[in-house]
Amino acid sequence: MREDLIAETITITGHGGDEIEAYLARPQGTGSFGGVVVIHHMPGYDAATKEITRKFAAHGYAALMPNLYYREAPGASPDDAAAAARAQGGVPDERLVGDVAGAAGHLRSLPGSNGKVGVIGYCSGGRQSFLAACSLRLDAAVDCYGGAVLKVPETAPASFKPIGHLAEHLSCPLLGLFGADDQFPAPQETAELSQLLDGFGKPHEFHTFAGAGHAFFAVDRPSYRVEAANEGWAKIWAFFGTHLAG
C-alpha cells in the first residue's frame, strides 16, 4: 500500500459528449499503473464510495468514479441527486455505457497508464459493471452484489431491464462477490448467471459469502460484514493484480 496519493474532483467527457463530474484518485509520483473505473451504488456519488476510490489509489491504481447522477442534479447532495435520478427512472443503460467509456478513456490518457482498465461496481453499480464489461473492451470487471442482471425486482428503477442476454459479449474476466443471505441477487440467480457464462466459455469466478447479505462492503451501514468484506477485498486485489498489472 502507498499513502502518497492525489485525489481530486475533475470533469470528464461522458455519454453523448456531456461534461460530467468525476472523482479521480491516483498514486503520486512516477511509475506505471492500471486503471479502475469505480461505479457508485444506488445511493449515489457519496463519501463512502469516494473512500473506496482512494483505496484503489493507495493500492497502486488510478481510480475514477463518474457521478452518474450529475445531469439530474448538479451540485446536489448524494441523497437528493439519487432521489432525482430515481424519479426519472434511473440511469439509462446506454448512458451508463457511454459514461464508463469516457472514464476508461480518461484513465488510459493519464501519464503512467499501462493502458489496462478494469471496472468495479457495488449494488446497482455491480449490474452496471457487468453491463459495461459486456458493452466495452475492458481488461477486468468486478460485480459486487449486483442485482437485476437476470431478474429485475419490483423495487428497481424503471430503466432497469434484464441484461443476461449480453453475457455472450463479455469482453474480459469477471469476478463476482455475493452474499448468501442476499435476495437481490439471490444465490440461485448468481448460480444461473455462472451457468450462462459457462455456456459461452466466458472466464469468471463467483464467490458467495456465508452470513453476508446485500452491501456487505459498506462500512457505514448495518449490512457491513467485516470477515466477508476483508476476504472480498483480498480477492479483488488478487484479481486486479492478475489482469491490470504490467
pLDDT digits (tens, 9 = 90+) for 116-125: 999 999 999 9
Distance (Å, whole) CA 61 – CA 19: 24
Q: How many domains does the chain have?
A: 1
- Looking up residue 173, the CATH number of its domain turns out to be 3.40.50.1820
Q: What is the extent of the structural domain holding 178?
A: 5-243
Question: Does the global pTM surpass 0.95?
Answer: yes
Burial-class residue 57 by CB neighbours within 10 Å (0-12, 13-18, 19+).
Answer: buried
Q: What is the pLDDT of residues 134-176, one digit of tens each?
A: 999 999 999 999 999 999 999 899 999 999 999 999 999 999 9
Of 70, 82, 97, the residue nearest 11 (C-alpha): 70
Q: Where are the beta strands (DSSP E) in 172-244?
A: 174-179, 204-209
Residue whose entry in the numeric block shows the C-alpha cell 455462472: 194
